[in-house]
Amino acid sequence: MRTRPTLTWSNPGPSLPRTSTLTEVVPIVERGGVLVLSGAGLSTESGIPDYRGEGGSLRKHTPMTYEEFTTSEAGRQRYWARSHVGWRTIARAHPNAGHHAVARLSSKLRGVITQNVDGLHQAAGSADVVELHGGLDRVICLGCGLLSPRIDLDRRLREANPDFHATTDEINPDGDVFLPEETVRGFRVVPCEACGGVLKPDVVFFGENVPRPRVEQCYSLVDGARSLLVLGSSLTVMSGLRFVRRAATAGIPVVIINRGETRGDAHASLRVDLPLGKTLSELAEIVVGEQW
């Protein structure tokens, strides 16, 4: 059964007052010990659409679920055909001003937890990044557990499908795209070179659990932080919301910079409704001064 990922939530109480200035954010970041939790909204300025924002991809397209990928050969064929096209767009994407600003603020950060799988934080120079949902630049075998570079799989898929030349502008944050069924029919999926098993991108699909050790690592980062700064996430699903709740329960200030309401607003100390790239660049300029 294909389940449709959560699109919205019901706000149980009054909206958190929002601000359009950085006045209250600056002293929180200047104190240091800031843990960043980033979502798909941070990468939209790099040409990668988000899931749930205005025009978000979930309104038009249901992503692959873990259940379908692991139980349906046709589902895997469809996914790999579409992801073969979409991954190239993700791989060509460049960090935007927001990613670079986070890297510039590194001396004030305890770490970065990202819900994104595009690798743009690391490409901008951020260290100590925890990829909560994995990374599209790696592939894992569900049989033997072997990890391999996505670029190697891309080469093998091109060799196995020399006449496959699909293109599309409709891409999702997980690298999946929309292609007509007749286009993906006949696409050849390649197995693990080590054991012949099923290959899967090293990302957490909808309906799949984040590995427990990774969750515990994130909880540890939250527990040692002086503040939590949420960037570009609607916090619709529990995967990221649980860290906001933990911080709030511990009395750790939660600041959310996002366009529009989030599911975590009730737990936040402050919500800033401004464009991320320009806003984070201004914040970095005020706090650390020097250009990256």
Ligand-binding annotation for 232, yes or no, is yes
Ligand-binding annotation for 21, yes or no, is no
Ligand-binding annotation for 191, yes or no, is no
Ligand-binding annotation for 56, yes or no, is yes
Q: Which of 275, 262, 292, 213 lies closest to 52 in space, CA to CA?
A: 262
Ligand-binding annotation for 39, yes or no, is yes
Ligand-binding annotation for 118, yes or no, is yes
Ligand-binding annotation for 54, yes or no, is yes
89 token code pair: 């767009």
Compute the distance between CA of residue 42 and CA of residue 37 in angstroms, rounded to an integer. Answer: 10
Compute the distance between CA of residue 188 and CA of residue 15 in angstroms, rounded to an integer. Answer: 50
Ligand-binding annotation for 273, yes or no, is no
Ligand-binding annotation for 40, yes or no, is yes
Contact in structure between 288 and 106 (CB atoms under 8 Å): no
Ligand-binding annotation for 276, yes or no, is yes
Ligand-binding annotation for 186, yes or no, is no
Ligand-binding annotation for 51, yes or no, is yes
Taking every pair of C-alpha atoms in the chain, what is the biggest distance, in angstroms?
Answer: 58
Active site includes 61? Answer: no
Cα dihedral: 188, 194, 196, 202 (round 10)? -70
- How is 115-183 classified by DSSP, letter by letter? ---S-HHHHHT--SEEETTEEEEEEEETTT--EEEHHHHHHHHHHH-TT-----S-B-TTS-B---HHH
Q: What are phi and psi of 284, to 5 degrees?
A: -65, -40
218 token code pair: 């994130």
Ligand-binding annotation for 68, yes or no, is no
Ligand-binding annotation for 195, yes or no, is yes
Q: Choose the catalytic residue: 121, 133, 165, 267.
A: 133
Contacts of 44 (CB under 8 A, 6+ apart): 50, 53, 232
Ligand-binding annotation for 115, yes or no, is yes
Cα end-to-end distance, the chain, whole Å: 48
Compute the distance between CA of residue 23 and CA of residue 32 in angstroms, rounded to an integer. Answer: 16
Ligand-binding annotation for 44, yes or no, is yes
Contacts of 135 (CB under 8 A, 6+ apart): 117, 119, 202, 203
Q: Which residues are annotated as a binding site for NAD(+)?
A: 39-59, 115-118, 232-234, 258-260, 276
Binding residues for Zn(2+): 141, 144, 192, 195
Known binding residues are 39-59, 115-118, 141, 144, 192, 195, 232-234, 258-260, 276
Active site residues: 133
